[in-house]
């Protein structure tokens, strides 16, 4: 059983199909298909139930997928430990950041690159929930995610921010000093795609208030969400520092005065897992920066 075939199989499952998996592993669709077939022949049972253009895991496939994640993570740990033997003159930092918070880490990137120019920083950008899944599988060393997180992760808080409701400037609520979710419940919401933890914060708060919001649109692009607010499609929510970066005359930022909706960004890593020296150096610089800043 080769790691190459396990990797191809894992990506078919994760990407939802052979063509997207081929892009991730830099191979042709035919090569990926043959790798999965080779794995099935070796094990002796089907791993995927092919239904039209979709592929669904069989019971055996679920077992192999879970074990394959562990084996690939162990392989990555071995490579990381060997990199550490050479010190920080070489090595790789595998980092996951959500687009909604990438400006938080720009200064850290500059300092890290200056101190460790030989370290290859491989950046993955997704929503917080998807980054947690990728971190869980061992494909990245560190991620940024919104608190709270599962007990399987350790974390270092980076920043706290109030949430802002983005309202069309000609809407009556745009003149209010603050709003709560009951003020907004009759207006369509513009949310981010599945995998963004900010959605969880907003939806859980709505449920505590006893209503399910109407969702006008979902997007993974912050600037598009702001433009949808500007043309009057609905309202959106962003942490204050992010909202300030997307200022539009036709959009008003109104503080959201709602319990348990504070935006808390943290750096997270797997509890008890091997943390490479490049990753440890990233956390050390992060803590330096936090020590130099005023209380958040």
Domain boundary among 70, 96, 130: 70
Q: Are residues 196 and 117 in the same domain?
A: no
189 with 214: CB under 8 angstroms? Answer: yes
The domain total for the chain is 3
For residues 150 and 282, membership in a common domain is answered with yes
Residues 204 and 169 in one domain: yes
| In-domain check, residue 177 | yes
Residue 292 has pLDDT above 80, yes or no: no
Q: Within this chain, do residues 272 and 256 fall inside the same structural domain, yes or no? A: no
Closest CA relative to residue 195, chosen from 127, 148, 262, 263: 127
pLDDT for 85 beyond 70: no
pLDDT (tens digit per residue) in 186-211? 999 999 988 788 999 999 999 999 99
Tokens of residue 8, six digits:
């191809």
Higher pLDDT, 292 or 28: 28
Q: What is the rounded average pLDDT of the residues 59-78?
A: 88
Give pLDDT tens digits for 217-232.
Answer: 999 899 999 999 999 9
Domain that residue 53 falls in: 1-70
Residues forming a β-bridge with 94:
122
Tokens of 142: 């560190």
pLDDT attached to residue 201: 93
What is the DSSP-derived secondary structure letter of residue 258?
-
Q: Is 274 within the bounds of a domain?
A: yes
* pLDDT over 50 at 263, yes or no: yes
CATH number at residue 230: 3.40.190.10
Same domain membership, residue 113 and residue 230: no
Please tell me whether residues 252 and 187 are part of one structural domain. Answer: yes
Dump the DSSP string for 112-176.
HHHH-TTSEEEEEE--HHHHHHHHHTTS-SEEEEESS--TTEEEEEEEEE-EEEEEETTSGGGGS
pLDDT average, residue stretch 29-34: 90
Are 143 and 189 within one domain? no
Residue 34 sits in the same domain as residue 150: no
Kind of pairing between the strands at 142-146 and 92-97: parallel
Answer with the residue of higher pLDDT: 173 or 4.
173
pLDDT in tens, 119-130: 999 999 888 888
Element (H, E) at 277: helix 277-292
**Mean of the per-residue pLDDT values of the chain:** 89
| Same domain assignment for residues 191 and 256 | yes
Residues 146 and 193 in one domain: no
Last residue of a domain, one of 45, 70, 95: 70
Q: Is the separation of the CB atoms in 198 and 165 below 8 Å?
A: no
How far apart are alpha carbons 103 and 81 in whole angstroms?
30
Whether residues 107 and 231 fall in one domain: no
Q: Does residue 10 share a domain with residue 64?
A: yes
pLDDT in tens, 227-249: 999 999 999 999 998 999 888 89
CATH of the domain at 45: 1.10.10.10
- What is residue 296's predicted lDDT score, i.e. its pLDDT? 43
């Amino acid at each position: 059983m080769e790691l190459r075939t396990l990797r191809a199989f894992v990506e078919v499952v994760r990407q939802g199909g052979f063509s997207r998996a081929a892009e991730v592993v830099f191979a042709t669709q035919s090569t990926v298909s043959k790798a999965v077939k080779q794995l099935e022949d070796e094990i002796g049972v089907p791993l995927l139930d092919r239904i039209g253009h979709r592929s669904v895991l069989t019971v055996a496939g679920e077992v192999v997928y879970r074990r394959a994640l562990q084996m690939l993570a162990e392989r990555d740990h071995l490579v990381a430990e060997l990199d550490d033997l050479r010190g920080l003159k070489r090595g790789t930092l595998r980092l996951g950041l959500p687009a909604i918070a990438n400006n938080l880490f720009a200064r850290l990137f500059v300092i890290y690159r200056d101190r460790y120019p030989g370290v290859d920083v491989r950046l993955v950008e997704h929503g917080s929930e998807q980054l947690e899944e990728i971190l869980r599988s061992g494909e990245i060393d560190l991620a940024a995610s919104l608190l709270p997180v599962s007990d399987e992760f350790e974390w270092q808080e980076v920043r706290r921010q109030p949430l802002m409701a983005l309202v069309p400037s000609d809407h009556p609520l745009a003149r209010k000093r603050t709003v709560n979710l009951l003020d907004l419940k009759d207006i369509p919401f513009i949310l981010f795609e599945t995998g963004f933890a900010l959605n969880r914060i907003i939806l859980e708060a709505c449920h505590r208030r006893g209503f399910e919001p109407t969702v006008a649109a979902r997007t993974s692009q912050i600037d598009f969400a702001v433009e949808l607010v500007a043309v009057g499609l609905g309202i959106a929510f962003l942490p204050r520092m992010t909202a300030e970066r997307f200022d539009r005359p036709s959009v008003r930022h109104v503080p959201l005065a709602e319990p348990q909706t504070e935006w808390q960004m943290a750096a997270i890593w797997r509890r008890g897992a091997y943390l490479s020296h490049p990753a440890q150096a990233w956390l050390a610089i992060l803590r330096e920066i936090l020590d130099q800043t005023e209380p958040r």
